[in-house]
Structure 1
Amino acid sequence: MSTRILPAVGDADAARSITTLLSQLPDAEPAGPLGDSTSLLDTLARLASESLDELPEVVLVHERIGPVPALELIREVSLRFPAVGVVLVTADASPGLYSAAMDSGARGLVGLPLSYEELATRVQAAAGWSVGVRRHLGQGADVFTGPGGTVVTVSGAKGGVGTTVTAVQLALAAKASGQTVALADLDLQSGDVASYLDVQFRRSIVDLSTIQDISPRVLQDALYNHDTGLGLLLAPGEGERGEEVSDRVVRQIISALRHRFEVVIVDCGTHMNAANAAAIEMADRTLLVVTPDVVTVRAAKRMVRLWDRLQIRKAEETITVVNRYTRNTEIQPPLIEKITSTKVARIAIPANFKELQGVVDAGRMQDLEAKSTVKQAMWGLAGDLGLVKSAEGADKQGRFRGDRGALGGRRGRAK
């Protein structure tokens, strides 16, 4: 039986060396090396969506991989694809790093400079472990093996553009169609998810900041089970405590939420920090909310460029959502698309604050009427993003529609 090996190597010289040695291993089928963590996770997710059998038995992670650090990447792969054996390739073979790698989920460690014998031994051991796990899974074990739920981040180009309203309504739409949904508030200093959904809850994301391994039970203790059925992970009540939430913690949290829920909506607010940057880098889809005015569109362009410089999201991979849209505004969606180099969502959210004012003031966004043009557009956007199970769903009152019938396939318009 051949062993499929997928190397993830950020260093060109190391990639050539590893590729040469892998080609000499007996019964090995090495794939071409991937140069960054995003490519690795995307490739594994694509293979897992086809079948567990399509996944490689062994993944090699080089110490210089990026932008996600090697140990964090190993933890992510181990959580999302537990039937894959991960081996760390590193110049530091100290007991401390070996222990940290094992704690992250690695099945072995290979020292640099590479030795054929050591590489062959570690790959063979990881492959044997992988085969055993797959045999166990094939007997009907209740273990997660797929790529996980869909993670969508919602960011604002600037303050006051409707980021949280959008995140909340997308989550409600996904839940109304029968999905299991989590809504996480990563606007750590000024998050308002709790205010919009009339929630009084003492626990927050900060309670997970000191946890080394976030188990399902630990995650459950920090989640608020809302009356709508949403699982809420809230921002801290004391904004200064947001600094306690690191990018490492966020990566663990997103992975844990992805395992438990079919849809995970993350409100990233408008301010960039390491925590929400990690969420954006891990997301399946990233939304950037703008309003059709010069100041906001310029802010959106700055934000997209920042993401690109940080190597967390390319402009063409970003979906811009136009909020408070009117047909007579000078700045139309095609112009926004051209200026930001992003994709603009097919559905724009109409400018109609009168529909929102009552539920916003009451802090009960879940009570927004089904006939609201704003709600129809936002829930239609959820349908376009693939967050609902079908185009024709039903909320608790049996009134959810997947938008295309409601909006006739056109952009929303103000009344």
Structure 2
Amino acid sequence: MVTILSIPESTEWIALIKKMEDSELHVNWVANEMRLMEQLQSVQPCIVLLPYSSTYNVYDLSSLISQKYPLTSVLLAFPTEEDLDMKRVLRAGADDVLFVSSPLSKIKEDLYLATEKSASKWLQQTPINPPQNGKVFTVCSTKGGIGKTTVAVNLAVAYAKKMMKVAVVDLDLQFGDVAMFLDVKPKQSIYEWVKEDPEGEHIERYMTPYIDGLSVLAAPPRPEFAEVITGNDVKRAICQLKQEYDVVIIDVSSHMNENVLVALEHADEILVMTYLDLPTLKNSKLLIDTLVSLELGERVKVVLNRQSKEKGITTAMVEKVLGREIDAAIPVMDKAMLTAVNEGKPLCYSNPKSPVAKQIFRLTESLYNPDSETLINKKKSRLKERVGGRR
């Protein structure tokens, strides 16, 4: 049975809920938003019915719930349609909205529908025998130009060369370059998937293939289309891709927003890219501290890009500033990297013996290195797929 939680915002709100309650529909009251978050730790499946309030920000609270409890359905209740900001509702990851001014029968019908959807979503995400999930790696940085996308696409190629099925998700939704770095021209993107596949069951159709076993979920074709994608969409994409792929690599925007937070929270490992200059190191430290405050610190791996003895900053100095050890260091190969980007051929594919590629391959082994029997089975399965596809 689906539990419904709500905050007693006003006597009018309580009275409205009591009129709707029956033998199948019952609302459990929690005193305030703090108690609500505590309850959600132990109550699932669950619907949160949030009334518009002057004591808390309904959009911010909805966003927080959606991020921390992705299987929880959030319904926002507004006095009238004039009080609604649809853009903020979408960004907050809410599942639906109700209007107190609507007929009681309509509100009750919407609530019944929400309970059915919530129960269905919970059952789909918690099967009796859950499938083997792929690994998720999110690559992030505090600014562009550090090499985040370069490392993401080369990691993807490195895993694909091990005969794994790999997905790269370009979550730099406004100005993502993953497709360009791989020299592919997507006909579909995450935007079309969100618009055309609301149940999220056919994400494979929206992937763009690169080489055998590696596919890209591209960023939207236009920057303004990024507004459509919500944290809930990102969550659904990751959950679906984990079931279809051995490895999912997410290249996120350098700006912290709801979509980036969802990608970080759903990652098995978080690769924080940094560089040998003090402003970048300072901001990388702030990012790491933020991840620690979100209880994600144990997943962080620090990747130092363009390592060089000529920069005047040693590895020891970097580790002192960041307060932790560097997990991987990518050497300087500016000319080779520029050629690789311009030609759309990552070094792990075009020049696997280069110093950069060797470090990337070492990084893949430290992140996820399944035993030989597992790899052999994956190779057999992939070869069967290829042979079958050529018939």
The equivalent of 1:289 in structure 2 is 273
CA–CA separation in structure 1 for the residues paired with 2:213 and 2:285: 36
Counterpart of 2:164 (choices 179, 184, 188) is 179
Q: What's the CA shift for 1:354?
A: 2.5
Q: Secondary structure at the residue paired with 1:195?
A: helix
Residue range with higher mean Cα deviation, 296-305 or 231-240? 296-305
The answer to whether 1:259 aligns with 2:259 is no
Q: TM-score, normalised by structure 2?
A: 0.65
Could you give the per-residue CA deviations for residues 104-129 of structure 1, whole angstroms, max 9, x where no partner exists? 34599xxxxxxxxxxxxxxxxx9xxx
The 1:69/1:239 distance shift into structure 2, 3 A limit, reads: closer
CA–CA separation in structure 1 for the residues paired with 2:213 and 2:39: 37
The answer to whether 1:242 aligns with 2:226 is yes
* Amino acid of the structure 1 residue aligned with 2:343: A
The equivalent of 1:68 in structure 2 is 66
Which consecutive unaligned segments of at least 5 residues does structure 2 have? Answer: 8-36, 49-60, 74-106, 377-391
CA–CA separation in structure 2 for the residues paired with 1:98 and 1:343: 52
The answer to whether 1:369 aligns with 2:351 is yes
The 1:332/1:166 distance shift into structure 2, 3 A limit, reads: same
The answer to whether 1:214 aligns with 2:228 is no
What does residue range 25-64 of structure 1 map to in structure 2 within 5 Å? 63=48
The answer to whether 1:274 aligns with 2:258 is yes
Could you give the per-residue CA deviations for residues 259-299 of structure 1, whole angstroms, max 9, x where no partner exists? 11111000013122211221111111111111121011112
Q: What's the CA shift for 1:326?
A: 1.8
Give the percent of matched residue pairs that are identical in Structure 1 and Structure 2.
27
What does residue range 9-20 of structure 1 map to in structure 2 within 5 Å? none
The equivalent of 2:303 in structure 1 is 321
Q: What's the CA shift for 1:353?
A: 1.5
Contact in 1 for aligned 2:306/2:330 (Cα 8 Å): yes
Counterpart of 1:356 (choices 337, 342, 355) is 337
* Amino acid of the structure 1 residue aligned with 2:296: K
* Amino acid of the structure 2 residue aligned with 1:159: G
Contact in 1 for aligned 2:67/2:261 (Cα 8 Å): no
Q: What's the CA shift for 1:74?
A: 4.6
CA–CA separation in structure 2 for the residues paired with 1:317 and 1:222: 29
* Amino acid of the structure 1 residue aligned with 2:257: N
The answer to whether 1:332 aligns with 2:314 is yes
Contact in 1 for aligned 2:187/2:208 (Cα 8 Å): no
The 1:363/1:342 distance shift into structure 2, 3 A limit, reads: same
Q: What's the CA shift for 1:315?
A: 3.6
Counterpart of 2:365 (choices 383, 406, 412) is 383
The equivalent of 2:154 in structure 1 is 169
Could you give the per-residue CA deviations for residues 70-94 of structure 1, whole angstroms, max 9, x where no partner exists? 873258xxxxxxxxxxxxxxxxx95
Could you give the per-residue CA deviations for residues 311-340 of structure 1, whole angstroms, max 9, x where no partner exists? 3x5344321100111245443344434433
* Amino acid of the structure 1 residue aligned with 2:335: K
Contact in 2 for aligned 1:209/1:246 (Cα 8 Å): no
The equivalent of 2:113 in structure 1 is 99
The 1:248/1:350 distance shift into structure 2, 3 A limit, reads: same
The 1:259/1:99 distance shift into structure 2, 3 A limit, reads: same
The 1:337/1:98 distance shift into structure 2, 3 A limit, reads: farther
Q: Secondary structure at the residue paired with 1:349?
A: strand
Contact in 2 for aligned 1:167/1:265 (Cα 8 Å): yes
Contact in 2 for aligned 1:179/1:389 (Cα 8 Å): no
The answer to whether 1:160 aligns with 2:145 is yes
Contact in 1 for aligned 2:288/2:297 (Cα 8 Å): yes
Q: What's the CA shift for 1:224?
A: 0.9
Q: Secondary structure at the residue paired with 1:190?
A: coil
Contact in 2 for aligned 1:177/1:388 (Cα 8 Å): no
Contact in 2 for aligned 1:222/1:233 (Cα 8 Å): yes
Q: TM-score, normalised by structure 1?
A: 0.62
CA–CA separation in structure 2 for the residues paired with 1:69 and 1:192: 26
What does residue range 78-97 of structure 1 map to in structure 2 within 5 Å? 95-97=109-111
Contact in 1 for aligned 2:265/2:296 (Cα 8 Å): no
CA–CA separation in structure 2 for the residues paired with 1:367 and 1:318: 26
Contact in 1 for aligned 2:46/2:118 (Cα 8 Å): no
Contact in 2 for aligned 1:251/1:278 (Cα 8 Å): yes
The 1:307/1:200 distance shift into structure 2, 3 A limit, reads: same
Which consecutive unaligned segments of at least 5 residues does structure 1 have? Answer: 1-6, 12-33, 41-57, 76-92, 109-125, 138-144, 395-415
Question: What count of residue pairs does the alignment treat as equivalent?
Answer: 297
Contact in 1 for aligned 2:190/2:218 (Cα 8 Å): yes
CA–CA separation in structure 2 for the residues paired with 1:103 and 1:382: 39
CA–CA separation in structure 1 for the residues paired with 2:137 and 2:38: 24
The answer to whether 1:233 aligns with 2:217 is yes
Q: CA RMSD in A?
A: 3.8
CA–CA separation in structure 1 for the residues paired with 2:276 and 2:200: 41
Q: What's the CA shift for 1:303?
A: 2.5
Could you give the per-residue CA deviations for residues 14-46 of structure 1, whole angstroms, max 9, x where no partner exists? xxxxxxxxxxxxxxxxxxxx9698x89xxxxxx
The 1:361/1:338 distance shift into structure 2, 3 A limit, reads: same
